[in-house]
Amino acid sequence: MNYLLVMPKVVEKIGDGYMFPPGIAYVSASMKKAGLNVINLNLNHEVGEVDKLVEAYIKKHSINVVLTGGLSVQYSSLKKILAAVKSFDSNIVTIIGGGIITSNPEPGMLAIEFADYGIIGEGEFSVVELCHALEKRELINNISGLIYLKNGRYYKTEERVDNDDLDELEIPDYEGFQFSKLMELEVGTSGAYSKKTGIIIASRSCPFQCTFCFHPSGKKYRQRSLDNVFKEIDFLVLRYDIKFLSIADELFSYDINRVKEFCERIKIYKIEWSAQFRVSDVNEEMVRLLKDANCVVISYGIESADNSILKSMRKNTSVEQIEKALELTYDAGIGIQGNFIFGDINETMETANNTLKWWNEHRKYGLSLLMIRTFPGTYIYKYAVQQAIIKDEVQFIKDGCLLTNVSKLSETEYRNLYNKLAVLMGTEKEAINIRDTVFDYENNKVAFIGECVNCKKVNHWEITDVFDIRQRMRCRYCGQYHSLPQFKKVRERTLNNIEVALKKYSKIAFWGMGKYFMERLYTEEFIVKNENIYLIDASPTRQGNTNLDKAIHSPKILQNDDIRAVIVAVPYLFDSIEEQILNEYKYPYKIINMVELIK
């Protein structure tokens, strides 16, 4: 049998950088080691429509089984792949894995619709066993970690035990998914923007159970031996000449002695790296070791500056520990990556304001302000289902896991807090004395020189998406962050083309009240005051009147109003929003990606 393993598309357009997902590459390596004939397709490097690409690969390689996988938020991309398979030939077997199935198996399968089998949990062994059973036409009910459709209903096999020995796994199949091509693209890693960024997983799962987290790599925390980890690092350095290493563990700092040994061993490579730490694990000695070992970015799970909320989240950390860790890291010149997430089950305006007050007094750390997300599989998701806040689990996945208010905040308080966070994030520090700015409008890129607001040293920054202000620019010298500048030319071109669209289509709507729109366009009087410009968001918690007297509507307004064009204001979600418009709502005359507004 011939197997096609498809990595879903995450880039907005071919040629953009992206973070390589090791999970599917581990599965590919395991399948190839088992002797299965695997063909790889990475949609992030292939120009063309997904259905045409999948069909072409099936024809060319006489494919019998197609596999893919990813997270719940990748629902549209995953469904599109498997729908294309079944549309071409309904007899081809389809298999899906990843967080979308592991977190909530039956709703995930129902949402995807076109999967014959789902993989629950780690897939390296389940997939191989399933494929061998398919080849031999054997029963599969003795294979653990599966969900499958039979006679109109779904059945789950016995739960698969987490693999304890991670060293026995093959190095991920990087080249099968054209990793060498990725190495030539600009990629942002926790604020460190550079070519040749490698990514590894040195452990799986996490020993803690925060209420907003789901561990798709298993329930049990396990670590690879450092010898095994450095075997993969050697491979990445020798094969791809990586210059930056992102350690993608949910938690890297659990074993302090292991971290110390890692620091000693990584020095000789003279590459920069980043990892995830807990604030409770950091002290002066640790920070000195990390700095000396060329760790340039530490990601902290911070979440709140109110101890009662940290307790409610089951963080097992305190505000005092947060303050100490951030101060030590900042003073050492190591970049800090961290968020405050608002909307915990016990969040009130008082606790939210406590965190906002702390954030305002410590802006130098550059922490982001976000609303908490109720992803399937998490404690707060299960709470939302039990309380009937989430009424339809399948539709929740189809809608993209929208923001959901599980807190003690009223709907009005919740919506106003969301709007407030967006405005506050727009006041983050920017680089100063920006000059030599070069725009590539066709490819939505910009390069410029600017000075760090902290140390005043000159940096050269390259930004791969001028509309993605989730990107943050790290100073190469002191490690501190800056928000993406508000480029005057981008603003002018955007507003001019909005006017052009308005004249052409009479009534237009912006769909997706994302970070860029809320921070950069939400306050533009031209947009706020114009009655022929509508704002749309699929999340009920964002809908309604705002403090600027500009209502945010449900997408259903497209059925009732003579709106001639929709501008998708969240470019990286363009495909899924476009598909939703085409499938569920009255088709507007034109669907426009915001990126087009600078061309």
| Domain ranges within the chain, ordered by starting residue | 2-156, 186-425, 432-483, 488-598
Q: What is the mean pLDDT of residues 100-106?
A: 97
Does residue 331 carry a pLDDT above 90?
yes
What distance separates the 2 farthest-apart alpha carbons in the chain? Answer: 68
Classify domain 488-598 at the CATH topology level: Rossmann fold (3.40.50)
Q: Characterize 307-345 residue by residue with b for buried, 16 or more Cβ atoms within 10 angstroms of its Cβ, and e for exposed.
A: bebbebbebebebebbebbbebbbebbbbbbbbbbbbbb
Tokens representing 128?
Answer: 């191989």
Tell me the pLDDT band of 1, cut-offs 50, 70 and 90. very high
| Three-class DSSP category at 400 | coil
CATH of domain 2-156: 3.40.50.280
pLDDT of 283 > 70? The answer is: yes
Confidence (pLDDT) at 523: 74
Intrachain domains 186-425 and 488-598 with the same fold: no
Tokens standing for 528? 């706020």
Question: CA 489 to CA 263: how far, in whole Å?
Answer: 44
Specify the higher pLDDT residue, 443 or 549.
Answer: 443
Q: What is the pLDDT of residue 190?
A: 44
Q: At a CB cut-off of 8 Å and minimum separation 6, what does 225 contact?
A: 167
CATH tag, 186-425: 3.20.20.70
Count the residues in the chain: 599
Confidence check: pLDDT of 325 > 90: yes
Q: Amino acid identity, residue 391?
A: K
Single pTM value for the model: 0.89
Cα–Cα distance for residue pair 102/122, rounded to 1 Å: 9
Rounded Cα distance between 400 and 578, Å, is: 13
H or E segment to which residue 277 belongs: strand 272-277
CA 56/CA 41 separation, integer angstroms = 11
* Owner of token pair 């009240």: 513
- Lowest-confidence range among 36-50, 278-292, 313-327, 510-524? 510-524
pLDDT of residue 233: 98
**At residue 339, does pLDDT exceed 90?**
yes
Q: How far apart are CA 94 and CA 317, in angstroms?
A: 43
CB-based contacts of 8, cutoff 8 Å, min separation 6: 43, 68, 70, 74, 77, 78, 81
What tokens appear for 220 in the block?
């049990």
pLDDT at 584: 82
What tens digit of pLDDT does each residue of 25-57 get?
Answer: 999 999 999 999 999 999 999 999 999 999 999
Higher pLDDT among residues 145 and 462, named by residue: 145
> How far is 88 from 55, CA to CA, in rounded Å?
7
Q: Identify the residue with better confidence: 407 or 542.
A: 407
Q: With cut-offs at 50, 70 and 90, classify the pLDDT of residue 585.
A: confident
Distance CA 5, CA 7 (A): 7
The confidence score (pLDDT) of residue 278 equals 96
Examine the pLDDT at 182 and tell me if it is beyond 60.
Answer: yes
Q: Which of 74, 170, 162, 154 is nearest to 121 (CA)?
A: 162
Q: How far apart, in Å, are the Cα atoms of 341 and each of 302, 306, 403, 508?
A: 8, 11, 12, 32
Determine the pLDDT at residue 427. Answer: 62
Task: Compute the mean pLDDT over every residue in the chain, rounded to the nearest whole number.
Answer: 91
> What is the reported pLDDT for 187?
61
H helices of 411-509, in order, are: 411-425, 488-505
Cβ contact 331:226 at 8 Å? no
**Alpha-helical segments (H) within 306-392:** 307-312, 319-331, 349-361, 379-386
The label of the residue with tokens 């970690």 reads 145
Q: In 371-528, where does DSSP find H-type helix?
A: 379-386, 393-398, 411-425, 488-505, 515-516, 525-528
- CB count in 10 Å sphere of residue 549: 8
Q: What is the mean pLDDT of residues 111-131?
A: 97
Mean pLDDT of 558-586: 85
